[in-house]
C-alpha cells in the first residue's frame, strides 16, 4: 500500500470486502465531503469580507495624567547629617508633615544663636546709619550757614567798595577844585605883579596874593594825598572782597567734601544693612530646610538613605513618595512609522497586567477584559528605543479602570484606526504595509474631542 516494496498485494485484496473501503468510495461520502469543503470555503470568504478595525499596538505602563501625581523623590536642599526619622516606609504623610530632620555640618552655621546675633548686628548697623543721617543733616545746615554768612559778608564788602568809590570820586573833585584854585591864585598873583609895576597895588597886597597861592598849593597837596588814600582804601576793599570770596569757597568746599563722604557712607551702610538682612533671611530659610517636609499627601514608598548620622549632600534624594490622590493614565509606545496615524482624541483599548482578557484586536466590540481610553498627549521626540510615547487617559464613556491599578503596572495598548475588510488586513500584514491613513469625518472628530472626566 505504501509502495515501499516491489511486491504488490493489490490483486489479492478485494476493497468491497471491507466496510471502510466501501464508505470511502461511496458516492454519498463524496457529496458530504464536497459540502463540507464548500461550507468551509464560504465561511472563509465570508470571514474575509467581514470588517476589521485596524489598530496600532504597543507596550505601555500605568502612569498619571499630571506630572505632580507621579512618584517623586524628595531631595535635600542643604548638606548635613541625618538626625532623626519621623516617618517609616509605607506611612501616610499629609502635606507639610516632617519626614526627617538634618543637622548642619558646615561651620558657618554651627552657632545656635546665629539669627539673634545677626539681628543685633543689623540693629547696630542701623544705629550707625541713623547717626550718619544726623551728621549729613548737620553738614547740610553748616553749608547753608556758610552760604548765608558769605552772602552777608559779600554784601558788606560791596557796600564798602561802593563807599570807597564814592569817596574817591569826592576826593577827585576836591583835587580838581584845588588845581583850579591854584590856577586862579597864580593868575591873580600875576596880575598883582603887573599892577604893582604900574603902582596900582601895594606890596602888601602882592604878598597877600603870594600867600593865597601857597595856601592853594597846600590844599591841592592835601586833596591829592586824600585822593590817594581813598584810592588805596578802594583797592583794599576790593582785595578784601576777593579774599572773603575765596575763604568762604574753601570752607564750603571742605564742608561739601565731608557731606559727600557722609552720603557715601550712608549708601555704603544701606548696602551693608540690606546684605545683612539678606543673610538673615537666608539663615532663617536655611533653618527651615533642616526639616524635610512632605510636599503633598502621599505614602512613603522607599527611604533612599538609611540610618542616623549619615551625611547627605545638597540635591541628594532622601526618600521617595507616592501621591495619595492621582489621575491614572497609560503611557504606551508606538513605532515612528505608525506615529502619523495617531491623533489626540483617538480611542485606545488596553489590557492591564493582572486582569484576564480575551482579545480580538480587529473586533474590539467582541473583546473581553479590555478598558477604553483616549489619547491626550503625544511626544515630539523618540526615547532611547526609538519609539514615541503616547499618553492616554480614561474614556469617561467606557468602563472605569480598576481601582486596584497602581502606577508602574504593565499594559498593552491598541490604538483603533479605520475599518477595512479582513482580506485587506491580511494582505497588508503579509506585505508589511502600514495601516491606512484616513481622515476622520467631522462628526467623529467632534466626538473624539469631547472632554474627559477625571478618574481618582
Looking at the structure, tell me whether residues 383 and 444 fall in a common domain.
Answer: yes
The DSSP H or E segment spanning 35 is helix 27-49
Give residue-wise pLDDT tens across range 33-47: 778 888 888 888 887
Environment class of 99 (CB within 10 Å of its CB; exposed 0-12, middle 13-18, buried 19+): buried
What is the structure's pLDDT at 454? 36
Instruction: Provide the number of structural domains found in the chain.
Output: 3
Q: What is the CATH number of the domain that holds 266?
A: 1.10.287
The domain boundary residue, chosen from 306, 322, 338 = 322
The answer, yes or no, to whether residue 361 has pLDDT greater than 70, is no
Q: What is the CATH number of the domain that holds 315?
A: 2.40.50.100
Environment class of 14 (CB within 10 Å of its CB; exposed 0-12, middle 13-18, buried 19+): exposed
> What percentage of the chain's residues is helix, strand, coil (to nearest 5)?
50, 20, 25
141 lies in some domain: yes
Q: Residue 79 in contact with residue 106, Cβ under 8 Å?
A: yes
3 lies in some domain: no
What phi and psi, each to the nearest 5 degrees, are found at residue 436? Answer: -70, 135
Residue with the larger pLDDT of the pair 426 and 393: 393
37 lies in some domain: no
CA–CA distance, 435 with 57 (Å, rounded to integer)? 11
pLDDT band of residue 436 (cuts 50, 70, 90) is: low
Looking at the structure, tell me whether residues 337 and 261 fall in a common domain.
Answer: no
Looking at the structure, tell me whether residues 216 and 346 fall in a common domain.
Answer: no
What is the structure's pLDDT at 254? 92
The domain of 300 spans: 72-97+294-322
CA–CA distance, 118 with 284 (Å, rounded to integer)? 11
39: left (phi over 0), alpha (psi -120 to 50) or beta: alpha
Q: Residue 185 in contact with residue 258, Cβ under 8 Å?
A: no
Give residue-wise pLDDT tens across range 382-425: 888 888 899 999 988 888 888 888 888 888 887 777 677 777 77
Looking at the structure, tell me whether residues 255 and 154 fall in a common domain.
Answer: yes
Looking at the structure, tell me whether residues 272 and 348 fall in a common domain.
Answer: no
Give residue-wise pLDDT tens across range 104-126: 888 888 888 888 888 898 999 88
Pairing relationship of beta strands 80-85 and 72-75 according to DSSP bridges: unpaired
Sign, CA torsion 52/58/62/68 = negative
109 lies in some domain: no
Q: Cell numbers for 266, please give them.
A: 550712608
Looking at the structure, tell me whether residues 60 and 83 fall in a common domain.
Answer: no
pLDDT band of residue 15 (cuts 50, 70, 90) is: low
Q: Cell numbers for 144, please give them.
A: 547753608
Looking at the structure, tell me whether residues 384 and 398 fall in a common domain.
Answer: yes
Q: Residue 181 in contact with residue 220, Cβ under 8 Å?
A: yes
CA–CA distance, 157 with 163 (Å, rounded to integer)? 10
403 lies in some domain: yes
Q: What is the CATH number of the domain that holds 359?
A: 2.40.30.170
Q: What is the full DSSP assignment across 94-119?
A: -TT-EEEEEEE-SGGG--TTHHHHHH
44 lies in some domain: no
Looking at the structure, tell me whether residues 158 and 84 fall in a common domain.
Answer: no
Question: What Cα–Cα distance (Å) separates residue 102 from each residue in 86, 264, 335, 413, 448?
Answer: 12, 43, 47, 45, 51
45 lies in some domain: no
Looking at the structure, tell me whether residues 221 and 87 fall in a common domain.
Answer: no
What is the structure's pLDDT at 450? 47
The pLDDT of 203-212, averaged and rounded, is 75
Looking at the structure, tell me whether residues 405 and 271 fall in a common domain.
Answer: no
* Model confidence, pTM: 0.56
Q: Cell numbers for 155, please give them.
A: 554784601
Looking at the structure, tell me whether residues 343 and 370 fall in a common domain.
Answer: yes
Looking at the structure, tell me whether residues 149 and 252 fall in a common domain.
Answer: yes
Q: What is the CA radius of gyration of the chain?
A: 60
139 lies in some domain: yes
What is the structure's pLDDT at 26? 59
Average confidence score pLDDT of the chain: 81
pLDDT band of residue 446 (cuts 50, 70, 90) is: very low
Q: Which of 25-34, 154-163, 176-185, 350-359 has the lowest mean pLDDT?
A: 25-34
Amino acid at each position: 500500500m505504501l509502495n515501499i516494496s516491489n511486491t504488490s498485494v493489490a490483486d489479492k485484496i478485494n476493497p468491497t470486502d471491507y466496510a471502510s473501503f466501501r464508505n470511502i468510495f461511496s458516492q454519498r461520502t463524496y457529496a458530504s465531503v464536497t459540502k463540507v469543503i464548500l461550507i468551509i470555503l464560504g465561511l472563509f470568504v465570508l470571514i474575509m469580507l467581514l470588517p476589521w478595525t485596524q489598530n496600532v499596538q504597543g507596550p505601555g505602563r500605568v502612569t498619571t495624567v499630571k506630572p505632580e501625581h507621579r512618584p517623586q523623590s524628595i531631595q535635600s536642599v542643604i548638606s548635613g547629617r541625618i538626625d532623626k526619622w519621623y516617618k517609616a516606609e509605607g506611612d501616610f504623610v499629609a502635606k507639610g508633615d516632617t519626614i526627617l530632620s538634618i543637622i548642619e555640618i558646615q561651620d558657618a552655621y554651627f552657632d545656635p544663636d546665629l539669627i539673634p546675633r545677626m539681628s543685633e548686628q543689623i540693629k547696630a548697623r542701623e544705629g550707625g546709619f541713623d547717626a550718619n543721617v544726623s551728621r549729613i543733616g548737620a553738614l547740610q545746615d553748616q553749608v547753608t550757614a556758610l552760604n548765608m554768612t558769605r552772602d552777608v559778608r559779600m554784601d558788606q564788602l560791596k557796600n564798602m567798595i561802593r563807599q570807597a568809590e564814592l569817596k574817591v570820586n569826592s576826593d577827585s573833585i576836591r583835587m580838581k577844585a584845588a588845581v583850579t584854585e591854584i590856577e586862579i591864585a597864580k593868575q591873580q598873583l600875576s596880575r598883582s605883579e603887573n599892577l604893582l609895576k604900574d603902582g596900582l597895588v601895594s606890596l602888601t597886597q602882592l604878598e597877600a596874593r603870594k600867600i593865597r597861592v601857597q595856601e592853594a598849593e597846600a590844599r591841592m597837596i592835601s586833596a591829592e594825598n586824600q585822593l590817594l588814600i581813598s584810592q588805596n582804601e578802594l583797592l583794599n576793599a576790593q582785595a578784601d572782597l576777593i579774599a572773603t570770596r575765596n575763604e568762604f569757597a574753601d570752607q564750603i568746599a571742605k564742608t561739601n567734601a565731608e557731606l559727600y563722604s557722609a552720603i557715601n557712607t550712608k549708601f555704603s551702610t544701606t548696602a551693608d544693612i540690606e546684605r545683612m538682612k539678606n543673610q538673615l533671611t537666608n539663615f532663617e530659610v536655611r533653618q527651615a530646610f533642616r526639616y524635610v517636609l512632605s510636599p503633598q499627601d502621599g505614602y512613603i514608598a522607599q527611604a533612599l538613605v538609611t540610618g542616623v548620622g549619615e551625611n547627605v549632600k545638597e540635591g541628594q534624594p532622601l526618600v521617595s513618595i507616592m501621591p495619595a490622590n492621582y489621575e491614572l493614565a497609560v503611557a504606551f509606545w508606538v513605532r515612528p512609522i505608525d506615529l502619523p496615524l495617531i491623533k489626540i482624541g483617538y480611542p485606545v483599548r488596553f489590557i492591564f497586567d493582572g486582569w484576564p482578557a480575551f482579545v480580538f484586536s480587529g473586533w474590539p466590540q467582541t473583546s473581553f477584559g479590555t478598558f477604553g481610553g483616549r489619547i491626550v498627549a503625544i511626544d515630539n521626540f523618540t526615547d532611547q528605543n526609538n519609539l514615541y510615547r503616547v499618553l492616554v487617559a480614561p474614556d469617561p464613556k467606557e468602563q472605569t479602570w480598576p481601582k486596584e491599578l497602581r502606577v508602574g503596572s504593565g499594559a498593552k495598548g491598541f490604538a483603533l484606526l479605520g475599518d477595512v475588510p479582513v482580506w485587506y488586513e491580511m494582505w497588508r500584514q503579509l506585505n508589511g504595509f502600514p495601516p491606512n491613513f484616513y481622515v476622520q469625518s467631522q462628526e467623529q472628530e467632534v466626538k473624539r474631542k469631547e472632554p474627559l472626566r477625571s478618574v481618582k
